[in-house]
């Protein structure tokens, strides 16, 4: 049986095409290496520096700090409850949820105060 279509010619590459292909492969390897370096060996984390805009006096004792936190949380709880009375629907539920989280934080601070200075 005779073949009507001849075999395609063998792929021959020119030196310029080879050079371009090698250059593309080198660029791809560099990009892969950079990507892996980012994920596998990230830069060391710099120690976090606290902001000095608002600074709590370091000499204040723990009991005073907890008492102030408790008063602040009580104020936030009262504000949230008052605000929730003005709302309805899902907004009211959201504010009441926030008020409950504030109340739980207030209870935790009160427990910490009790451990520092047990009631007599």
Q: Where do we find the tokens 């451990």?
A: 115
DSSP letter string, 25-44? HHHHHHHHHHHHHHHHSPPP
Tens-place pLDDT, residues 48-105: 787 777 888 889 999 999 999 999 999 999 999 999 999 999 999 999 999 999 999 9
Q: What is the mean pLDDT of residues 104-112?
A: 92
- Please determine, for residue 7, whether its predicted confidence score (pLDDT) is greater than 90: no
pTM score, two decimals?
0.52
Taking alpha carbons only, the member of 21, 25, 22 closest to residue 33 is: 25
Token readout for 27 is 């660029």
What pLDDT is attached to residue 1?
61
What pLDDT is attached to residue 53?
79
What element of type H or E holds 86? none
Ordered by start, the domain boundaries in the chain are 13-43, 62-116
What pLDDT is attached to residue 14?
78
């Amino acid at each position: 049986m005779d073949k009507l279509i001849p075999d395609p010619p063998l792929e021959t590459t020119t030196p310029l095409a080879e050079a371009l292909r090698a250059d593309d492969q080198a660029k791809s390897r560099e990009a892969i290496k950079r990507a892996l370096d980012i994920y596998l060996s990230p830069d060391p984390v710099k120690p976090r520096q606290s902001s000095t805009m608002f600074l709590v006096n370091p000499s204040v004792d723990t009991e005073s700090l907890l008492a102030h936190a408790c008063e602040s949380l009580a104020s936030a709880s009262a504000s949230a409850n008052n605000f929730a009375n003005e709302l309805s629907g899902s907004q009211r539920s959201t504010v009441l949820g926030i008020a409950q989280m504030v109340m739980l934080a207030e209870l935790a601070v009160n427990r910490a105060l009790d451990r520092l200075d047990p009631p007599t």
